[in-house]
């Protein structure tokens, strides 16, 4: 199997985006995926592959929702450091959406109908858009809490790297690092412009109602389209990996509740050393994605 190729560029000195000056650099990535790779890119398992395909389908519209809910309040922020963090956040999320679009195009070329996940998440987000800007931002900070936990899981749990096809791993690792770099930005904006605890609490059921059925619908629809929905052996294996006790996603769930603590702040859970470790591993001193991350072995150490 051929490996994915990609290139990335650090920003030339003097031309760095403002976010880079506060540790949130939007890195220009350009992931390329070979056309001849496996259809079920995660452990040759349809169930888990369709879960990650659903996530990838959700990201571009989801990240646009995050960006818009923060951008709505951008002019209310005067602190230059906070403004730079917002620029970094918006830049990173925009590039995440673009690169997941690229992955989704590759999956589509393979015949996986990721467009359904895109439609499904847009229905869920359309429901959230009916609420006030403060409530929408509260939903964003809850989803950012989820993405930060997922990012930490991706970076610390070797099982993803051991089972996913090598060509897609760098994209998920890069995305995970940047999610942790900017994990507090939307929350800090929220605290400055609203800070409503009631909206924060309400964000949990609203987001769950808006998106959980969309995850289920998307996975069911995709598995049906793949002709795998009645494949019990495949489903049992995928379920065990993702959702059973100590499963990849199940491990995140107990920490979701931290969000409801009155004194919650994303930085209360310190991930600085983990981010540093992965920045060094992936990007090296010049901020470019290191060439050796074309292969799985390099990511396992
Ligand atoms: Fe993102
Ligand atoms: Fe994010």
Q: Which residues surround ligand 2, an ion (CB under 5 A)?
A: 179
Give burial (CB, 10 Å; 0-12/13-18/19+) of 104.
Answer: buried
Measured in Å, residue 276 CA sits from the centre of ligand 1 at 18
pTM passes above 0.85: yes
Listed residue (163, 179, 178, 149) closest to 299, CA to CA = 163
In the chain, where the domains are located: 48-299
Measured in Å, residue 224 CA sits from the centre of ligand 2 at 30
Kindly identify the ligand whose nearest atom is closest to the C-alpha of 140.
2
Measured in Å, residue 63 CA sits from the centre of ligand 2 at 7
Measured in Å, residue 193 CA sits from the centre of ligand 1 at 22
Measured in Å, residue 178 CA sits from the centre of ligand 2 at 7
Q: 10 Å Cβ neighbour count for 88?
A: 24
- Residues listed for the chain: 301
Kindly identify the ligand whose nearest atom is closest to the C-alpha of 182.
2
Q: In this structure, what token pair is assigned to residue 102?
A: 């690229």
Q: Residue 241 in contact with residue 48, Cβ under 8 Å?
A: yes
Listed residue (45, 60, 210) closest to 135, CA to CA = 210
Kindly identify the ligand whose nearest atom is closest to the C-alpha of 89.
2
Kindly identify the ligand whose nearest atom is closest to the C-alpha of 185.
2
Measured in Å, residue 215 CA sits from the centre of ligand 2 at 18
The tens place of each residue's pLDDT in the chain, 301 residues long, gives 334 444 444 444 444 447 888 999 998 888 888 877 788 999 999 999 999 999 999 999 999 999 999 999 999 999 999 999 999 999 999 999 999 999 999 999 999 999 999 999 999 999 999 999 999 999 999 999 999 999 999 999 999 999 999 889 999 999 999 999 999 999 999 999 999 999 999 999 999 999 999 999 999 999 999 999 999 999 999 999 999 999 999 999 999 999 999 999 999 999 999 999 999 888 877 666 665 555 455 555 5
């Amino acid at each position: 199997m051929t490996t994915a190729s990609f290139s990335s560029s650090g920003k030339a000195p003097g031309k760095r985006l403002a976010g880079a000056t506060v540790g949130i650099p939007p890195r220009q990535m350009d992931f390329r995926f070979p056309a001849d790779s496996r259809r079920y890119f995660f452990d040759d398992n349809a169930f888990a592959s369709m879960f990650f395909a659903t996530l990838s389908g959700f990201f571009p519209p989801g990240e646009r929702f995050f960006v818009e809910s923060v951008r709505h309040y951008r002019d209310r922020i005067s602190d230059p450091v906070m403004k730079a963090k917002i620029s970094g956040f918006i830049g990173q999320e925009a590039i995440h959406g673009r690169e997941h679009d690229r992955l989704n195009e590759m999956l589509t070329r393979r015949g996986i109908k990721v467009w359904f996940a895109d439609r499904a998440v847009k229905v869920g987000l359309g429901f959230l858009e009916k609420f006030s800007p403060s409530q929408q931002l509260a939903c964003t900070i809850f989803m950012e809490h989820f993405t930060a936990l997922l990012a930490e899981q991706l970076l610390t749990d070797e099982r993803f790297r051991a089972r996913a096809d090598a060509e897609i791993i760098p994209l998920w690792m890069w995305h995970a690092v940047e999610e942790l770099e900017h994990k507090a930005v939307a929350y800090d904006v929220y605290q400055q412009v609203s800070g409503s605890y009631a909206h924060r609490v309400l964000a949990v059921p609203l987001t769950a109602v808006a998106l959980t059925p969309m995850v289920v619908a998307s996975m069911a629809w995709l598995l049906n389209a793949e002709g795998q929905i009645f494949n019990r052996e495949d489903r049992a294996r995928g379920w065990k990996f993702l959702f059973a006790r100590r499963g990849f996603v199940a491990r995140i769930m107990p920490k979701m509740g931290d969000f409801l603590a009155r004194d919650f702040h994303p930085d209360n859970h310190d991930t600085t050393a983990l981010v540093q470790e992965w920045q060094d591993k992936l990007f090296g001193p010049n901020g470019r994605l290191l060439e050796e991350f074309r292969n799985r072995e390099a990511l396992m150490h």
